[in-house]
Amino acid sequence: MDFGNNSSSNENLLAQSPSRENEGQEDWNSSDEPTHKYPKLVRQHRDRAEKLEEILEPILGPENGESCVLLLCCGTPSACRVLPVLIPISTIATDNFGQWSLIKDSWNTFDKSWRHWLPCYGVQQVSLASVSLLAKIGSSGSNRFGDNHSEFPGACTPEDLEGQMQEQQAIIDQVPDRAFPCYYDWEFGFFDHHRECHKRSDASCSDFESYESPYECSAKKIMEAKRRLLQLSRRKLFLTLAFRRPEVTAANDLIPESPFYSHQDVLALCGSWDCPSLYELTFRGLMVEEGWLLSSPSPFFAAISILLMSTTLFRFMFGGWDAAWGAASCLVTIAMFGYQYTKDQPGHRAPWK
């Protein structure tokens, strides 16, 4: 009898348990509590990401995917101004001249200092660099190419070309030259391997050597390393030349795809860290460094000093400014020709060098 009562009570409990589970599930579905383990941290990260997107709005570019953004840096690596330049996606692989024309036109909209009006002062070199931004400021430029007349103060670090070239050279030096190397067949688009490679490849696929890494022909790796080494050795020189004369880029792909940022690329950077600061987002861009185009600015300053002092002296000698300026100009011209002739002569040295 007791056994029957116990069994009936157990059946009642089993019958009630599904209803309790359903009640708990309904309560969970109806609750508005966040499902994250740390909702406060998630909220902080979301707020910071929204703030970054607001600041980086000129760099985000359009969402339709028709354009991307290239960051153009002007100044010194420790303190530069960064300008977002809109580049149409259709020109990245087809119109190099159009890209560089936009880059140069955008650089011309920067507010120039008094030094740009001096002779022998201009763009020294153009290089790829990693870029860190600090804030967004407005610009007084009236013909801005791109993005709401906005500029970003920041800092740039030019790429380490020497280190990259050493890495590529190390790849080339690792593999000794063989008597019958494999080569790339440009007509069919694949590597034509020597029989030695086929033997090693078949041997590495055997069951007895399954624990070893599969054999890989080094011909492709060496070819890519040699091409990369050639590109790195010419990059800084040709980037500078392309900036000065965009027409030379018609058949030259000088900018890799990494400095071009789409809308989604910038959004991905904003979520790469936990509550990131603006300066922690590392971009890539073009660094335009300016300075004296002479090997040393001292000859230029010396020529100006000689011109002014000699003009004053000749004024008292000839009694008029016209004759003084003419005589001083002749003296400076002779002095500069003499410097140009003697600076490269062995055993001679210009007095101001």
- Residue 43 inside a domain? The answer is no
Using the 3D structure, point to which of 292, 310, 333 is the last residue of a domain. 292
Q: Do residue 137 and residue 270 come from a single domain?
A: yes
Q: Is 333 helix (H, G, I), strand (E, B) or coil?
A: helix
Query: Shortest CA distance to 219 belongs to which of 166, 162, 249, 178?
Result: 178
Q: Do residue 3 and residue 95 come from a single domain?
A: no
- 56-111 residue pLDDT tens: 998 987 777 788 999 999 888 888 899 999 999 888 878 899 999 999 998 888 77
- 302-352 residue pLDDT tens: 677 777 778 888 878 877 888 888 888 887 777 766 665 555 444 434 333
Q: Is 329 helix (H, G, I), strand (E, B) or coil?
A: helix
pLDDT of 219: 78
pTM comes to 0.68
Residues 6+ apart with CB under 8 A from 230: none
Q: Which range among 81-85, 99-103, 207-211, 222-226 shows the weakest confidence by mean pLDDT? A: 207-211
pLDDT of 146: 46
- Residue 353 inside a domain? The answer is no
Length of the chain in residues, anyone?
Answer: 353
Q: Do residue 2 and residue 26 come from a single domain?
A: yes
**Does 213 score more than 70 pLDDT?**
no
- Residue 40 inside a domain? The answer is no
Q: Do residue 97 and residue 125 come from a single domain?
A: yes
Task: Work out whether strand 150-158 and strand 137-138 pair parallel, antiparallel, or are unpaired.
Answer: antiparallel
Q: Do residue 145 and residue 175 come from a single domain?
A: no
- Residue 268 inside a domain? The answer is yes
Alpha helices in 31-157 (DSSP H): 39-55, 57-60, 96-108
Half-sphere CA count of 109, side-chain side, radius 13 A: 22
In whole angstroms, give the CA distance from residue 78 to residue 25. Answer: 58
* For the chain, percent of residues with pLDDT exceeding 90: 27
Phi-psi region of 218 (alpha: psi -120 to 50; beta: other; left: phi over 0): alpha
- Residue 39 inside a domain? The answer is no
Residues 6+ apart with CB under 8 A from 249: 96, 97, 99, 100, 242
pLDDT of 18: 43
Phi-psi region of 126 (alpha: psi -120 to 50; beta: other; left: phi over 0): beta
Most confident of 25-29, 209-213, 221-225: 221-225
Q: Do residue 288 and residue 305 come from a single domain?
A: no
- Residue 44 inside a domain? The answer is no
pLDDT of 84: 93
Tokens of residue 262, six digits: 């789409």
**Residue 128 binned pLDDT confidence (cut-offs 50, 70, 90):** very high
pLDDT of 270: 87
Q: Do residue 20 and residue 150 come from a single domain?
A: no
Distances from the Cα of 295 to the Cαs of 120, 123, 124, 325, in angstroms?
A: 10, 13, 11, 27
Q: Name the residue with higher pLDDT: 15 or 261.
A: 261
- Residue 237 inside a domain? The answer is no
Q: Do residue 59 and residue 128 come from a single domain?
A: yes
Mean pLDDT across the chain: 76
- Residue 69 inside a domain? The answer is yes
Q: Do residue 119 and residue 1 come from a single domain?
A: no
**Residue whose structure tokens are 């090693």:** 200
Q: Do residue 22 and residue 114 come from a single domain?
A: no
Angle at 202 between CA 199 and CA 208, to 5 degrees: 120
Q: Name the residue with higher pLDDT: 202 or 153.
A: 153
Q: Work out the average pLDDT over 196-218.
A: 56
pLDDT of 35: 56
**Distance of alpha carbon 117 from the chain centroid:** 29
**Does 261 score more than 70 pLDDT?**
yes
What domain count does the chain have?
A: 4
**Residue 46 binned pLDDT confidence (cut-offs 50, 70, 90):** confident
pLDDT of 340: 58
Nearest-Å Rg of the Cα atoms of the chain is 34
- For residue 210, the enclosing domain spans 169-224
pLDDT of 163: 94
pLDDT of 339: 61
Q: Do residue 177 and residue 277 come from a single domain?
A: no
In whole angstroms, give the CA distance from residue 102 to residue 242. Answer: 12
Q: Do residue 337 and residue 246 come from a single domain?
A: no
Residues 6+ apart with CB under 8 A from 310: 327, 328, 331, 332
